[in-house]
Structure 1
Amino acid sequence: MLEIPSPKPVEQLRVLVIDGQTLVHNAIKHALEPMGMTYVKSAENAYYALRLCETHSFDVFIVSFDVKSDKDGFNLLEEMKFKGYVHKTSTVIFLSADTTQELVNCVIELEPSDFWVKPLDRVRIQQRMKHILTIKQELFKVQYCMDAGEYSTAIYHAERQLQDATLEHYHPRINRMVGDALMLLYEYKEAEVFYRRLAQRYKYAWVQIGLIRSLLKQNKYEEATPLSKILLRRNDTRFATYDALAEYYIDKEEYKKGYDVIKKATELAPRNLERNKKSWNLARLNHDREGQLAATKSMAKYAKNSIHDTPEFSLNVVRATLDFATTVGEMEANRMLVTAERHIRELRDNTAMSGELRQQLDIVEARVANLRKDKRKAEGLLSDHMSTEPLVSVEDSLDKMKAFHEIGYREEAIKLLEKTQSQVESDSFIGHVMREYLSQEKEERKNIHFTSIELAEMAAGHYKQRRLSPAFDLLNQALTLTPDNHNFAISLLKIIAHISAEERLNDAHQTSANFCLDALKEAELDRTQKAKVDEYCNAIERAL
């Protein structure tokens, strides 16, 4: 069995206080010294805090959100966890004068021991610290096992503590760790029974969240639905419920529902890069170019100055901008291209250029040139990068495939896409969605050779010449690429209405009409658009 050390006595605990205000450091030191906590180091910024962690080990971390440096406390705490300076057995206290729900949601995900609201009071500091350290000492064995990934051992020690009447005050916290361990061991049925039993004794939000997660993991959606409706109405459970539902929908390949739910979770806690990445991939799978751009911008914003910060985040914003530009009108597309070109210049000017990054900037510039109708320049930029072997990064390969396809090298695009598919593992949430997205891309790139705007323009030309059948086919393709474009849907209804006046509508016509009506149900249409939709629908209904 895992050998577990004894927790340190309070007098031996090493404390690191990270805050930009000297008064805060003094207040905390003066409050802790009478408690016997005399080893207290101070850091006024993230840089010095990390330097201290490199040469000293600490047991207690008191981290302010507002520190004097390029990193905020959230990024700093995340980096200290990532580098192994902070463990589950560590005591972590987050300080902030900001108590907005968005920040609180983000902090909760980092699982601090406590959240202190500024300004600080000496008596309150001592009361909270004594309370937290007592809990840490009593629960040290279980937390140590959880930290080591020994979940069965954690349950063993937890069950022994739950039989100790003197620890009754800590039983809710112990039970919470038991529930977490059961879920991590994939013991979902046992976890359900466990949480149902706890729900008869406790009203804590985590009990309800644990129950809904255990139900959804067993595909008991009908049983989970009434509970999820209740939890989505509560501020303290809404965020975690959205996360649980999103995971369920993706497992069931209900990607539209999963995307709708994860967007809501991301709005509630926007700093989580992993969740933003999920939102980005689901946006692509659902052809939401605007949502794709929003997700990449959010990732770039919150990755800046963090442990995750790389040029790749800025590059992905450029890529998403170009994807979006292929779906909008000329004036809007030109504005986006100007923005993309500015970002490309910044990356070239401000980044130490690796060969891989230089190649990717050539590729995005080729895409820009092609969108500006300068095919010669686009081909010149791409000429040194014609290999169809996949690149190290799936995103790099995917962008290169798009450049091939947009400029006209369609066979090369499909070859590269097929090879890229083999790079993606499907045993994770993001990997599963990415494989589905690449399969979708392969099908669409084989069958659709133009952007949605180009398809709509060609459809308009055919319509003017009364060539209704090719206009119908082209607009169907445009809507496949941009299913939320209401103007395309209205135009397709108009074409179907005209076809109905000349011939009997077939199954394809009726299916497309229903798709358009579904797409327009929740659209904000003006009076003229509504009148046109009604007119076209009446004409179609008369023909059926």
Structure 2
Amino acid sequence: MKLPQLDLTQIRVLIADQQSSVRTWLRTQLALIGIQQASMAANATDLLRHCKTGGFDVVLCDHHLDNQKDGVDLLEDLRYQSLLPLSSVFMIVTGERTYKRVISAVEFAPDDYLIKPFSANDLSHRVMAALMKKQILKDVFARLAVHDYPGVIEACDKVIAGKTHHTLDALRIKAEALLTLERLDEAAEIYASVSTQRAVPWARMGFAMVLQKRGLIDEAAAEATKLNTDCPEFLSVYDFLARTHEQRGDLAAAMEYLERADALSPANTERLRHLGKLASETGDHPRAAAAMRKVVDRTHKSGRGKLDDHLTLMKNLVEENTRKEADERLKTMRNSFSDTPEGIIATEVAIARQRHIAGDTDAANQAIDRALATHQETPDIAPTIAVDLAEVCVDTGRTDDALKVAERIGEGAGSLDASLRRRLGRLRPDTPPPASASVTPPPMQATPPAPVEIPATEAPAESLADEIETARLLKALANALASLDAKWDEAEAAACRELLIDTFSVAPREREVIQAHIRYDRIAARNGADRHKPTTRKAIENPAANS
């Protein structure tokens, strides 16, 4: 693949730093390599204003930009408000070297992280490398921006065929697009191939996601737990494990994983929001209030603030009986959101909770009446606000009103997040339940091979003899698959299937065994043969016991 040429005279850079001397030095160094168009920002407000009015190819942002927001907060704001396209480079510049600060920044995936002091040569090399990567993946990012996932796959294939330094990036993006399109076998093949060649956590994480999408929640959790043990700094796995434990109904374990990740990287607002919701749902009011307090304070006066964050915080402050803070938070919520019907309903719900806890039944009912009137007059109310209104009706003994509110949520209940569906399910028994370990795997695209379905089997062997036998079988299976891949032969295919049965009998949950089934199905599909359904020797010999 011929590398693209960069016209540096057309590159637009935004330099954001409190110190004018640093901004000047950075601009001078960029000018020396041919980048002449540089704008300056001295604080977060300046940076956001610049990004709203004009697109930049590169943003160099100091981590401690001002007292209101740091570089990570700004990156999160820019992405949330869609002010920074995927084709733009965002670099965080900092003198901070502590583990927690660095891992927090890296989690939000800036294009680079420059630690002071660095030389002019370091700066030019890193900026040029980041720009070249964006240029090579330009078509990929353009397709991602419009959610054209088949187009993403096609663009990634072109990059992969070009064998550049960014082949691994293209493979990762392609696999994620395949997951989105439910083409699970193809995604699994990429993750398996990358895992055997490179020790990259995202490939192992992807394999766990494939298992989860197939409905194999226990196997997905086991794979992710291994990754968490091997790579405790890979933060995405904590969120994944939290979701899988939530699917299993173990909310305590889900919250534990979220808190462990927050201890490593306190900057992730969405993770804190998830923790706050789960804690509120389980009645852990101090834990919920602590999490939601951070969320509300961090997103206040930014594009990431959400009304239901304020309402969740208020609910738990009231339950904690922290009257003074609750009054102050209520005033802030009213001032920020009272110009919308949802804001009016949320404010009245919060007042009703306060008055109910204080024993003022009349005032609580009056607030609920005002909320119900606004709800009745407004056609589309966010389900999060409607569920809170229904819950306060239940708490105050107004069950009929609660059911009427719940009915208004309608057919969209199945698309709600798991926590909201559980809460709604307590009000409406017909609400679709959250996904659990017993869910049916999602339907596949018509692209062969079909998904590998892992049936219930005997527990994996743990003795030394079984481990030796498993290793022997896996080696024989690898050789058989390599031979079959080179030239299809029916007799060799039958022998290969026997090996698949033997390995699945002794080690059904081993990743190498699952990968072997995927590889066999891919080879079989290419040669017009049937795929092999995973099964054990015991199931074949005694089918009645497994019917």
Q: Report if TM-score (shorter chain) is over 0.5.
A: yes
Give distance in 1, aligned partners of 2:329 and 2:271: 24
Q: CA deviation at 1:38?
A: 0.9
Alignment partner of 1:361 is 2:347: yes
Matches within 5 A, 1:240-319: 240-251=236-247, 255-309=251-305, 313-319=309-315
Q: Note if contact 1:75-1:306 (Cα within 8 Å) is conserved in structure 2.
A: no
- Work out which of the residue numbers 174, 196, 208 in structure 2 matches 1:212: 208
CA shift for structure 1 position 395 = 4.0
Alignment pair present for 1:426 and 2:387? no
Determine the C-alpha separation between the residues in 1 that align with 2:352 and 2:155. 61
1:483 paired residue number: none
Paired AA for residue 426 in structure 1: G
Q: Is the 8 A contact 1:24 1:120 kept in 2?
A: no
CA contact 2:403–2:427 (8 Å) conserved in 1: no
Change (3 A) 1:315 1:245: closer
Q: Which amino acid aligns with 1:354?
A: D
Structure 2 residue aligned with 1:233: 229
- The alignment partner of 1:200 has SS state of helix
Change (3 A) 1:57 1:371: closer
Structure showing the higher helix proportion among its residues? 1
Three-state SS of the structure 2 residue aligned to 1:88 is: coil
Q: Indicate if the aligned counterparts of 1:421 and 1:438 stay in contact, CA closer than 8 A.
A: no
2:398 is the alignment partner of 1:412: no
What letter corresponds to residue 386 of structure 2 in structure 1? S
* Partner deviation per Cα, 1:276-302 (whole Å, 9 max, x = no partner): 333333334434333332332232122
Counterpart CA distance in 1 for 2:49 and 2:372 is 45
Deviation at 1:401, TM superposition (A): 3.4
Which position in structure 2 is the counterpart of 1:372?
358
8 Å CA contact retained: 2:90, 2:111 = yes
Give the whole-Å Cα distance in 1 for the aligned partners of 2:19 and 2:254: 43
Question: Residues 101-136 of structure 1, C-alpha deviation per residue, up to 9 Å, x if partnerless?
Answer: 444444344332111123343222122122222323
Among 53, 64, 70, the residue aligned to 2:62:
64
Q: Percent identity?
A: 21
Displacement after TM superposition at 1:235 (Å) = 4.8
Change (3 A) 1:385 1:229: closer
Distance 1:180 1:381, change over 3 A: closer
> Any stretches of 5+ residues in structure 1 without a counterpart?
1-5, 326-332, 444-544
In 2, are the aligned partners of 1:95 and 1:115 still within 8 Å (CA)? yes
Deviation at 1:43, TM superposition (A): 0.9
* Alignment-derived partner of residue 338 in structure 1: 324
In the alignment, the residues of structure 2 paired with residue 425 and residue 410 of structure 1 have an alpha-carbon distance, to the nearest angstrom, of: 19
Per-residue CA deviations over 1:67-109 (Å, capped at 9, x if unaligned) read 2364433333233334433211111112233344444444344
C-alpha distance in 2 between matches for 1:81 and 1:339: 31
Inter-partner Cα distance in structure 2 for 1:188 and 1:253: 25
- Measured in 2, the distance between the counterparts of 1:396 and 1:16 equals 39
CA distance in 2, matches of 1:136, 1:161: 12
CA distance in 2, matches of 1:160, 1:229: 34
Provide TM-score, normalisation by structure 1: 0.68
Partner letter of residue 308 of structure 1?
R
Contact 1:99 1:117 in 2 (8 A): yes
1:63–1:77: 8 Å Cα contact kept in structure 2?
A: no
Q: Which amino acid aligns with 1:373?
A: G
Letter in 2 for 1:152: P
Is this contact kept in 1: 2:280–2:316, CA < 8 A?
A: no
Contact 1:424 1:434 in 2 (8 A): no
Letter of the 1:26 counterpart:
T
- The answer as to 2:51 corresponding to 1:53 is yes
Aligned to 2:472: none
Distance 1:225 1:379 in 2: 45
- Equivalent-residue separation in structure 2 for 1:189 and 1:265 (angstroms): 30
Alignment of 1:400 with 2:386, yes or no, is no
Higher relative contact order (CA 8 A, sep 6+): 2
Distance 1:402 1:352, change over 3 A: closer
1:32/1:126 contact within 8 Å kept = yes
Deviations 1:473-529 (CA, angstroms, capped at 9, x unpaired): xxxxxxxxxxxxxxxxxxxxxxxxxxxxxxxxxxxxxxxxxxxxxxxxxxxxxxxxx
Whole-angstrom CA distance in 2 between matches of 1:360 and 1:300: 15
Deviations 1:435-484 (A, max 9, x none): 221212568xxxxxxxxxxxxxxxxxxxxxxxxxxxxxxxxxxxxxxxxx
CA contact (8 A) 2:349 2:389 kept: yes
Paired with 1:384 and 1:135, the residues of 2 have a C-alpha distance of 56
Check conservation: 2:277, 2:288, Cα contact below 8 A.
yes
Alpha-carbon distance, 1:340 to partner: 1.6
Tell me the TM-score normalized by structure 2.
0.68
